[in-house]
Structure 1
Amino acid sequence: MNSLVFLFLAAIFAGFSLLKLPAVSFVPDLQPFFQIVGVLAIIIFSFVILYMALKALFNKGWR
C-alpha cells in the first residue's frame, strides 16, 4: 500500500511539473492542454490519497 501512495504522490508532483512547463517553440499550442492535464492530475491523485488515508484511519489499518 505504501508503494501506491508514493506512486500517487509522484503523479501529483508530475502534475505540478506540467503546470510549470515552459512553452516550447514547437508546441506552444499544447500549453493549455498540459495545464489542464496537470490540474486534473493534482486534483484526482490528491483525492485518491485522501481517500486511502481516511479508509486506513477508519479501518484502523494505519497501525
Structure 2
Amino acid sequence: MIIVVDTNIVFSAILNSSSKIAQILLYPSTDLEFYSTTQLLTEIEKNLNKIKKLSGYTDTELNEN
C-alpha cells in the first residue's frame, strides 16, 4: 500500500511518538510504502531546533528514525 504523508503528519508523529500514526511511521509493516515531497525535508531542517525542544529527542534519536 502506498501512503503519502505531509509535513503535519510527520511533525505530529515526532511530537507524539505514542500516537497511532507515529507507530505506523516508525514501525511500518513491510507492505507499506511512504512518499512525500522534498519540501518535507526542508521543513524538518528549518524547524529542527523547535522539534528537538518540543519532543525532547536528541540529534542521534532523530537521525535514527
TM-score for the superposition, normalised by structure 1: 0.26
TM-score for the superposition, normalised by structure 2: 0.25
Q: Which has the higher strand share?
A: 2
Computing the radius of gyration from Cα coordinates, the structure with the larger value is: 1
